[in-house]
């Protein structure tokens, strides 16, 4: 159906399709441009606890931001990894959706400010994300978290990290209840037919953007490594349940949906929804796109079910 009218209006208003190619800009320029989208993410959900902390990581302390919808008590917890192609993004650019997820789900959210490429290429982001999940599991009292109800999630590159962590947890722990994958990067093949060809240009994130991200993140590393391309893992059985969200007009659409089907075929409980007429990255833009608000609600519903919480009231 192509872009929804509100999606087209957003792209035209923000001139998102008129920016210079990512490869012609410095990382700092790209990050500053990416951060301007915060203005369209809606007012911050007021929460009683929003606290910046650190967890020990392999290269020093990793900054994290804790969100809690109630001050006291023990809550399920979602470890969240922001998007941005492993190059852009931060706990600040993911602040609004993390607040909304905490409020809607009734869980604690630990958002991870992992190291970014090109300054810190693979596997730095994955190492920091792994350290955060393990710290939450090992020191749940620091977050008021229930160590038996831990989920991982993220959007785009963060969805990639979450998918990889879910695969690792199956083998080495900690036990995870759920994985939230929002238009995740699941593979490194940008050449095939389908969404990579159909939406290569003109829909905010381009195929060339993904090539830029891969070049910076991989920095020569094997692109077929399952820690980069989780869809290449041969055995997906035994993974925790999943919620997968995709956008119709997104180069990453087909690989996200193929990964959802592959997990389901392996016996994993999967909820998947494609948001018609949406682009990458619509997910955080709840201030202007009703579909973003609905996607965040859909994510919260999956998390609540996995955590054994009652459904959201309509």
Catalytic residues: 156, 250, 280
Backbone φ and ψ for 77, nearest 5 degrees, come out as -140, 140
Q: In whole angstroms, give the CA distance from residue 314 to residue 72.
A: 26
Tell which phi-psi region holds residue 116, choosing left (phi > 0), alpha (psi between -120 and 50) or beta.
Answer: beta
Beta-carbon contacts of residue 188 (< 8 Å; ≥ 6 apart): 214, 218, 223, 224, 228, 229
The H or E element spanning position 271 is: strand 270-279
Cβ(256)–Cβ(231) below 8 Å = no
Cβ(181)–Cβ(162) below 8 Å = yes
Prior bond of 67 cis (ω within 30°): no
Through-space distance between the first and last CA atoms of the chain, rounded to whole angstroms: 28
Q: In whole angstroms, give the CA distance from residue 125 to residue 114.
A: 5
Pseudo-torsion of CA 120, 77, 101, 36, nearest 10°? Answer: -20
């Amino acid at each position: 159906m192509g872009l929804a009218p509100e999606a087209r209006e957003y792209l035209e208003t923000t001139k998102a399709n008129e920016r210079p190619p990512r490869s012609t800009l410095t990382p700092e320029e790209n990050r500053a441009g990416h951060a301007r989208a915060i203005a369209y993410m809606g007012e911050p959900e007021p929460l009683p606890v929003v606290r910046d902390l650190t967890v020990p990581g392999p290269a020093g302390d990793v900054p994290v931001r804790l969100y809690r919808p109630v001050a006291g008590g023990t809550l399920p917890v979602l470890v969240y990894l922001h998007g941005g192609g492993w190059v852009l993004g931060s706990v600040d650019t993911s602040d609004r959706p993390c607040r909304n997820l905490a409020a809607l789900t009734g869980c604690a959210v630990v958002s991870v400010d992992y190291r970014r490429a090109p300054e810190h290429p693979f596997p730095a982001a994955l190492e920091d994300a792994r350290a955060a999940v393990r710290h939450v599991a090992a020191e749940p009292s620091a977050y008021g978290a229930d160590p038996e109800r831990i989920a991982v999630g993220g959007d785009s590159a963060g969805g990639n990290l979450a998918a990889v962590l879910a695969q690792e947890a199956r083998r080495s722990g900690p036990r995870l209840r759920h994985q939230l994958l929002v238009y995740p990067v699941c593979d490194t093949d940008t050449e095939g037919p389908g969404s990579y060809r159909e939406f290569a240009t003109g829909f905010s994130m381009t195929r060339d953007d993904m090539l830029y991200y891969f070049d910076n993140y991989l920095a020569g590393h094997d692109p077929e490594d399952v820690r980069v391309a989780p869809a290449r893992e041969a055995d997906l059985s035994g993974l925790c349940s999943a919620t997968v969200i995709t956008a119709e007009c997104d180069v990453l659409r087909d690989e996200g949906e193929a990964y959802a089907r592959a997990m389901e075929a392996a016996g994993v409980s999967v909820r998947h929804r494609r948001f018609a007429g949406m682009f990458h990255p619509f997910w955080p833009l709840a201030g202007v796109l009703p579909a973003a608000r609905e996607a965040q609600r859909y994510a919260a519903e999956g998390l609540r079910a996995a955590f054994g919480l009652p459904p959201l009231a309509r």
